[in-house]
Structure 1
């Protein structure tokens, strides 16, 4: 089908070329014969052979043969029309066909290109075609002389000169005019395309009729054509100039052999020089124009690819956000109720063990979701740090305490070593640094079968400098795979994920977090000899006086007396869980199942705080918040905290832009919820309790 399609497209184009070349052949032959008749057979320029060579080079094999036969008939018809005898016409036609066919075949065998795209191909074409035409013209002229009963070499120089001049000029011109690529980068208006050749015709007529000494003036309009129209324009204007210059010189000098031949040769040589100089400039300009057009196209392609990549990245972010929301929403109920049930003193030991398994599985799933979201933030470059006064030693002890049950279950020891002033509070992102330490400790326990883990913290020697080291006696890491440990989805080998599980994102996220803290993370290990992961970073000191001045504000404590809270969520389980958690800290809780009920409740009652879900049917949380902020009553200033599984930075930013004061992610951790409630309720005033909505 492809071949058929290409033939369907190519045939009309080739036949169009066939027709154009045949018309050009007839015109050039008639022009040369008219000049010869007007000058009593003084050789001027023979261009028709160049047209036949071009046709044999650019047309297909069959079309080339047909063109050769048709052009022969045209040749004979025109020669007979001007009164030449049949024998001479047949001889000249056959010899011309042999000459042109042989020249075209030899040019192909020599590897001469049939397109002129650069100075090298131009010079190669002119040189090769001129040499072949000169050699074949000597043979043809000699055979014609012998057939007419003259001396073997009679008239060979005049015949050869006219043929070589015609081929040297017309062959590259015709190839350039047939090459559509030379149109690229040049945009000449129709009026300019008409006026420029007319101007060259006028210049040539005046100069070569009056005084050839001013022929250098032709360089100006021809070079203008080169800059404005490129190689095709040069070919057109030089062809026009030659067509006018030869009759003008003959008119000025007369037709006597000695007086006309020398000026004619000067005219032809001048036009060859003019053409070569102008076409070289035009080819260079055309190449630059094509490169600029190519650069524009590639820039457009690059912009389109960038737009597609950005769209794909947005789609990926939306997908991650949606999946995160859908997973976190049920996890909120699973983990929240598991925690509440675990507080029941009447729970049997076996049920408590089973509940602990549920809780561990839920936390594991929450960690995987958290890793995926953190990785999405890392890729988007949107990791934000929240600095608070933190004791590095207390942070490490806390991380060790969290990992201790898992280590004890495997029979591993855990040791902590400190050096320097490790208890002094520093401005650190406690959550992010704990996340990194827990990841390193969890990996150490995971990959250790016997022995244990030693965590070492060194403060100093410079102020605020910290170095954490996590040493284990586990399986170790081969040197050749250590370099890729901190790459995404990377583990030592494929068996690791099968034997130990994991996403392969933990260390990549840890490296990104440590880098965001302007620190470094690395590993030292040998296979079967354990591993040492280390973190170095520098933090600013945050003493109590600086903290009071606002260096890094400390989290608020829980409210001291009952507060009136409106909990808005479309999931009944989430409302039940929220009521249970808020009741634990002594809040009086009213509930609403959508944004419209929340707006009605806030307008009618008096609340100290609103906990607002974001995604709800009907009026969602963002719309409800905007409506509350637009109220004219004091209720418009009530603190609103978002309770949502939307945890990406842009999602949190949308919540704050809608008028929400804080954000607590789902699954809800009671410590985070209590801290957010405490911050929101600081400085509240006592007012009557609201009625329960649902």
Structure 2
């Protein structure tokens, strides 16, 4: 690959060398043979600028070849035009030295070939070249005065104007025309380019076609229009075309009018000024537009990169979601067996004390692992912005007491005292998402119990009335190990705990507080931690909640209808069928099992089931397909409530279950009380299916 690029670079340089040699030969022939004024010097001399620009763009070896070829062309064409040998030698030596010196200065100043991206760079190039041009013009004037028989002041003036203005136009034109990178952003059809340049030529012929009656302003509108359409190269070609037409016509006009040498000199100087002014007028417009084009291209490229980055981020997010879904399913499936059989064992009355303790330890370890999985999923939901609050009337005190009751058993197992303290009107209802508030309180209470070796955990609730909304402040105070000051800023960051020793000693992924912070902020509240004066920490949350009336709630009689229910349990895993059947059997249900979706559809077709508990991932016909097939059955069999009972627990997976026709979802590992509540709810409301 490197060799191919080097070969292509050499080929481009060789083509550029040949193009420069031809361009120089044509330019010097045109200037020397067709634009000579009465003084014997050319009206316009951009040749040195062309040679200097070529030497800058070429490699040093090819630059020397260009210098040698142009020297030969210079000598031959000067002799062909009738220039005396001494003058030919003087012109050739001075022009060669001037071009070589300028090329060296520009390469050093720009660190390589200058690229004219804006007008300031073009002016800098000309500013670096003109001092060298002026010095050599003075040397040429003094050296040629005895041979041309012209007064020294007039000769100095002519040398300076011809060389300086020729360099002012010739050098930028050469650097623009022979740099392939400049055209980018101004690609136009061939016919449009031809039309533009024909327009410029016509304007130049009209402006300079009548000797003595020039109308130079006509070329400027045409030149600016071409610059806007074709960019910097259009401006450069406009200058070349106008100079090529105007110079010989001006010389013809001078001859036709038999002008004096002074008048001819003034006319030549005016023409040189015109060509330079035209170049920089058009170049200013073209380079400004080119800069806009570069910014547009840069913006387009950055937008493309942003789209690619967005696509990569979406792909990464999708991959993360798929990974979480897969890992959640694969972890929950064995956990369902571990926790399910453990709780079945724990409910037995014939366990020895040691065996019951061991079962409790297994249940605790499994519960910790389930909490870890739930934390990861919860954080994924929060981070993706997929958590929506379900605000309903609730008593903050009742939510707090529920959370305390859940952790009370673990606290008692450690010998910790758990207290609840309330202040203010805590009997009223407020608009709250009770589930999310309970989740936050459980995180804080679990941490307090986990990090408190001895002493007590106190849960305080204070309700402060306000205008329109009440302030609810909950504090969880412990007498635990506390948090060192240097680590407190990291507490609410994801995957963060006090230090690595905390992880080793107490476990966890460090997501609980990060999730709690995100949920509290979603509820427009605040969360924080303060160190106790004596020992331990106080974690607190503050919420603003609207007081409201309690919502009517249906009361379910003890035992309910679940004891008389006939349930179809569909799962491909034998242990899951055994656990689910055992839980439902304990409640008095009649349980019929199926091991795949097709069996479930066949059994449901016969009717007689009150509820269907459906797994999702099964060989053959999966749970979603089976649900759609049951919903398509004729008669009452299609209306049976179908509850997903799956390890798929991500929001989008639950949404897919509902889209397929399922009415609810129970996540594995199965929690007995939650399973009973779900089944009982749909036994009471079958019409909702």
Residue 467 (structure 1) aligns with: 473
* Secondary structure of the corresponding residue to residue 633 of structure 2: coil
Counterpart pick for 2:398 among 394, 398, 405: 394
Q: Shift of the alpha carbon at 1:425?
A: 4.3
Q: Shift of the alpha carbon at 1:80?
A: 2.9
Which has the larger displacement, 242-251 or 257-266?
Answer: 257-266
- Is 1:90 aligned to residue 78 of structure 2? no
Partner deviation per Cα, 1:57-113 (whole Å, 9 max, x = no partner): 221222212211121122222223334454543343223212222233344455597
Residue 614 (structure 1) aligns with: 616
Task: Describe how 1:1-16 pairs up with structure 2 within 5 A.
Answer: 7-16=6-15
Residue 46 (structure 2) aligns with: 47
Distance in 2 between residues matched to 1:648 and 1:606, nearest whole Å = 32
Partner deviation per Cα, 1:616-669 (whole Å, 9 max, x = no partner): 110001001111111222211111111111111111111000111111111111
2:640–2:686 Cα contact (<8 Å) kept: no
Residue 688 (structure 1) aligns with: none
Distance in 2 between residues matched to 1:675 and 1:461, nearest whole Å = 35
1:547–1:554 Cα contact (<8 Å) kept: no
* Secondary structure of the corresponding residue to residue 181 of structure 1: coil
Which has the larger displacement, 149-158 or 341-350?
Answer: 149-158
Q: Pick closer, same or farther for the CA change 1:542–1:569 going to 2, 3 Å.
A: farther
Task: Describe how 1:358-507 pairs up with structure 2 within 5 A.
Answer: 358-387=362-391, 390-462=394-466, 464-507=470-513
Counterpart pick for 2:679 among 672, 677, 680: 677
2:476–2:539 Cα contact (<8 Å) kept: yes
Partner deviation per Cα, 1:461-484 (whole Å, 9 max, x = no partner): 346532110112223224443233
Residue 218 (structure 1) aligns with: 219
Q: Pick closer, same or farther for the CA change 1:220–1:55 going to 2, 3 Å.
A: same
Task: Describe how 1:77-476 pairs up with structure 2 within 5 A.
Answer: 77-109=76-108, 114-146=114-146, 155-210=155-210, 212=213, 214-254=215-255, 256=258, 257-387=261-391, 390-462=394-466, 464-476=470-482
Which has the larger displacement, 142-151 or 444-453?
Answer: 142-151
Aligned length, in residue pairs: 679
Residue 689 (structure 1) aligns with: none
Q: Shift of the alpha carbon at 1:277?
A: 1.5
Report the TM-score, using the length of structure 2 for normalisation. Answer: 0.93
Q: Pick closer, same or farther for the CA change 1:684–1:39 going to 2, 3 Å.
A: closer
Q: Shift of the alpha carbon at 1:448?
A: 2.6
Which has the larger displacement, 351-360 or 409-418?
Answer: 409-418
Distance in 1 between residues matched to 2:571 and 2:110, nearest whole Å = 80
1:556–1:678 Cα contact (<8 Å) kept: no
Distance in 2 between residues matched to 1:502 and 1:432, nearest whole Å = 20
2:430–2:548 Cα contact (<8 Å) kept: yes
Task: Describe how 1:506-525 pairs up with structure 2 within 5 A.
Answer: 506-525=512-531
1:145–1:153 Cα contact (<8 Å) kept: no
Q: Pick closer, same or farther for the CA change 1:109–1:333 going to 2, 3 Å.
A: closer
Q: Pick closer, same or farther for the CA change 1:168–1:150 going to 2, 3 Å.
A: closer
Q: Pick closer, same or farther for the CA change 1:576–1:387 going to 2, 3 Å.
A: farther
Residue 657 (structure 2) aligns with: 655
* Secondary structure of the corresponding residue to residue 101 of structure 1: helix
Distance in 1 between residues matched to 2:76 and 2:87, nearest whole Å = 13
Distance in 1 between residues matched to 2:384 and 2:583, nearest whole Å = 35
Distance in 1 between residues matched to 2:364 and 2:502, nearest whole Å = 21
Distance in 1 between residues matched to 2:332 and 2:548, nearest whole Å = 35
Report the TM-score, using the length of structure 1 for normalisation. Answer: 0.92
- Is 1:637 aligned to residue 639 of structure 2? yes
Q: Shift of the alpha carbon at 1:7?
A: 3.4
* Secondary structure of the corresponding residue to residue 502 of structure 1: coil
Distance in 1 between residues matched to 2:219 and 2:149, nearest whole Å = 44
2:35–2:44 Cα contact (<8 Å) kept: no
Q: Shift of the alpha carbon at 1:117?
A: 1.5
Distance in 2 between residues matched to 1:268 and 1:614, nearest whole Å = 86
Please, which runs of 5 or more residues in structure 1 have no aligned partner?
Answer: 686-694
Distance in 2 between residues matched to 1:218 and 1:556, nearest whole Å = 99
Q: Pick closer, same or farther for the CA change 1:590–1:111 going to 2, 3 Å.
A: closer
Q: Pick closer, same or farther for the CA change 1:274–1:298 going to 2, 3 Å.
A: same
Distance in 2 between residues matched to 1:296 and 1:169, nearest whole Å = 34
* Secondary structure of the corresponding residue to residue 422 of structure 2: strand
Q: Shift of the alpha carbon at 1:423?
A: 3.8
Q: Pick closer, same or farther for the CA change 1:83–1:474 going to 2, 3 Å.
A: same
* Secondary structure of the corresponding residue to residue 164 of structure 2: helix
Distance in 2 between residues matched to 1:246 and 1:453, nearest whole Å = 100
Question: What CA RMSD, in Å, does the superposition of the two structures yield over aligned residues?
Answer: 2.6
Q: Pick closer, same or farther for the CA change 1:333–1:425 going to 2, 3 Å.
A: farther
- Is 1:547 aligned to residue 552 of structure 2? yes
Q: Shift of the alpha carbon at 1:253?
A: 3.2
Partner deviation per Cα, 1:551-600 (whole Å, 9 max, x = no partner): xx788974265122111110111111111111222221111111111111
1:388–1:554 Cα contact (<8 Å) kept: no
Q: Shift of the alpha carbon at 1:34?
A: 0.9
Distance in 1 between residues matched to 2:372 and 2:594, nearest whole Å = 31
Q: Pick closer, same or farther for the CA change 1:30–1:526 going to 2, 3 Å.
A: farther
